[in-house]
């Protein structure tokens, strides 16, 4: 038995074939746009004031909604990137 580990093929070709970089850029732009829109609507109260009052510990509501906007941006960016990459993989598989 040998302790040599076989070399793995580079994944760069797969990433290029699936257009992951392009998909990530589109996902990031989509996530950022969605988060900015949600933040603006919530903080500026474009639909009017929200019913009920809450107390926000440590910071005001703007900071908490900014954190929520960050979470929304990252998760939606990852979702869009994953969906576009799956679509690229499906298209590539059909071509083969």
pLDDT, tens digit, 9 for 90 and up, residues 48-80: 666 666 677 777 777 888 898 999 999 999 999
pLDDT band at 1 (very low <50, low <70, confident <90, very high): low
96: pLDDT strictly greater than 70? yes
Distance spanning both ends of the chain, measured CA to CA: 38
C-alpha to C-alpha distance for 65 and 25, rounded to whole angstroms: 24
C-alpha to C-alpha distance for 42 and 80, rounded to whole angstroms: 23
Tokens read off for 7: 């070399």
Residue among 73, 87, 67, 66 at smallest CA distance from 20: 87
C-alpha to C-alpha distance for 61 and 43, rounded to whole angstroms: 8
């Amino acid at each position: 038995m040998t302790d040599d580990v076989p070399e793995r093929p580079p994944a760069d070709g797969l990433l290029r074939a699936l257009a992951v970089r392009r998909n990530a850029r589109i996902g990031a732009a989509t996530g950022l746009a969605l988060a900015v829109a949600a933040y603006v609507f919530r903080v500026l109260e474009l639909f009017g004031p929200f019913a009920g009052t809450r107390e926000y510990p440590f910071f005001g509501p703007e900071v908490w909604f900014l954190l929520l906007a960050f979470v929304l941006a990252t998760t939606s960016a990852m979702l869009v990137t994953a969906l576009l990459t799956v679509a690229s993989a499906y298209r590539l598989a059909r071509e083969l």
